[in-house]
Amino acid sequence: MKLSFSTLGCPNWDLNSIIKNAKNYGFDGVEIRGIKDQLDVSKLQEFTRRTSETRDMFADANIELICFSSSIRMAEPDKSKRGEHLEELKRYAEVCENFDTPFVRVFGGQIDELSWEQAIDEAAATLYQMIELINNADAKIVIETHDDWMAADHFKALMEKVNSEKVGILWDVNHPYMFIGEAPEETWDKVGKWIDHTHWKDSRIAIDTVMGFEPCLMGEGDLPHEQIYDVLKNGGYDGYLSLEWEKRWHPELAEPEIAFPQYVDYMKRLMDR
């Protein structure tokens, strides 16, 4: 398994700083979720008109560009916005082709008043449209365990219904465990064969907050990281362990210059046990 970070954690870094620090801190890859003021990097020249230059920057540093984390939602109750999500996916599919990047992250989204049976049917119909858009590209859609979509049972039903090699799961190890109390073994047993990518973080219970927990540096919270890592290792997972330090949304968090090298040190000790 390899280490990466999401640029969600370094909203003030430019592309040069992202690549330079990834190399200096000992990361193997980078997951793009915005650069400075632009969250949708499919609109940036570095990923559209100046692709050769950007590719060379990553190659020279021996850093892989592993995922473009979009704002696309699979489940979108507002039907007027569904076309926007498909257009965004078109752009990201092209960007992935230009950079040999294997994954586009999409959110699960909200199901509102739908039953889970209805929600799974609607989500499958949306995914069929998305699959058509990326069918000729090498990129794959990975749906994050996020929003209303966290339970392994719901993902299992959806993945079996869609039954496509163009769709996988991004396991955010925090959300199913902290929100709904799902054990890592249950997540893997039910949907492990579809897990292509993972997001890592730590958080601690904080009952006075909106979510009921708050983010913290690795090892300072309540996530059973050793247990999660062992589940992945024993299951044969060989993908990335990507730090999602939510500095963009929580500016009070420690700076990436602190959180990123701390993550590498923590994870290497965990993996070397």
> For the chain, which residues make up each domain, given as ranges?
2-271
By C-alpha distance, which of 142, 227, 143, 240 is closest to 185?
Answer: 227
The pLDDT > 90 percentage for the chain reads: 86
Q: Is domain 2-271 in CATH 3.20.20.150, yes or no? A: yes
Say which residues have a Cβ less than 8 Å from residue 25's Cβ, sequence separation at least 6.
Answer: 260, 261, 264
Phi, psi angles (nearest 5°) of residue 166 = -90, 0
Q: CA-CA distances (angstroms) from residue 158 to 25, 77, 108, 167, 217? A: 38, 17, 11, 10, 33
Least confident of 9-13, 83-87, 118-122, 164-168: 83-87
User: Residue 185 burial (CB < 10 Å; 0-12/13-18/19+)?
Assistant: middle
Higher pLDDT, 219 or 136: 219
Q: What is the tens place of the pLDDT at every residue in 206-253?
A: 777 767 789 999 999 999 999 999 999 999 999 999 999 999 999 999
What is the pTM for the complete model shown? 0.95
The mean predicted confidence, pLDDT, of the chain is: 94
Query: Looking at residue 213, what is its pLDDT?
Result: 80
* Single-letter code of the amino acid located at 88: E
Q: How far apart are CA 257 and CA 165, in angstroms?
A: 37
Q: Is the pLDDT of residue 81 over 90?
A: no
Residue 106 structure tokens = 């999409």
Measure the CA–CA gap between 39 and 182, rounded to whole angstroms: 31
pLDDT at 211: 72
- CA–CA separation, 141 and 72 (whole Å): 10
CA distance 15 to 27: 15
Q: What is the pLDDT of residues 94-124, one digit of tens each?
A: 999 999 999 999 999 899 889 999 999 999 9
Q: Using CA atoms, how far apart are residues 140 and 106, in angstroms rounded to an integer? A: 10
What pLDDT score was predicted for residue 210?
67
What percentage of the chain carries pLDDT values higher than 70?
A: 99
